[in-house]
Amino acid sequence: MARITFIQPDGSETVVNVDSGTSVMLAAIRNGVSGIDGECGGCLDCATCHVYIDVSHSGSLAPPQPEELELLGSVTATRKPTSRLSCQLKLPPSITALTVHISGTQS
Ligand code: FES
C-alpha cells in the first residue's frame, strides 16, 4: 500500500491509500480528487493528468520516458522541472508515500 497526498492549488489536501503499482491518475479518479481529468485513460494522448511531484520524491521515482516528455510540452499549466503526467506515475513497492501538487488547469 502507498499513501498519496494530493495538494490542490488552494492548499487543500486529500490523502488516499492505494495498492502499489496503481497510477497516480487512477488513484485520483477513483477517489474523486478534482483537478486531474485523465481524459485518455492513461494512453499518453491528452496531457490532462499533469501534476507536480514534491521535490522530496524527485530522485526516487522512475524518470519520464521520451513519450511522456514530449507530451509534457503540451500541458496548459506552467511546465516545471517537477512536472509529470500522473498516468505514468506508478508507485513501486519501495515507495510508501508520495505528495503531488495539482497543476490548476488541465485543458
Ligand atoms: S491520462 Fe491522458 S496523458 Fe495521462
Could you list the mean pLDDT of each consecutive 10-residue stretch along the chain, which spans 107 residues? 95 95 95 95 95 83 94 93 95 90 86
Q: Which three cell numbers stand for residue 44?
A: 499518453
Place of cell 486529500: 14
Residue 7 has a pLDDT of: 97
Pocket test for ligand 1, best of 70, 85, 89 (most atoms within 8 A of CB): 85
- pLDDT of res. 58: 66
According to the model, what pLDDT value does residue 57 have?
73
Q: 44, 50, 84: which to mutate for ligand 1, most atoms within 8 A of CB?
A: 44
Its pTM stands at 0.93
Distance CA 84, CA 23 (A): 12
- Nearest atom within ligand 1 for CA of residue 86: 4
Distance (angstroms) between ligand 1 centre and the Cα of 45 equals 6
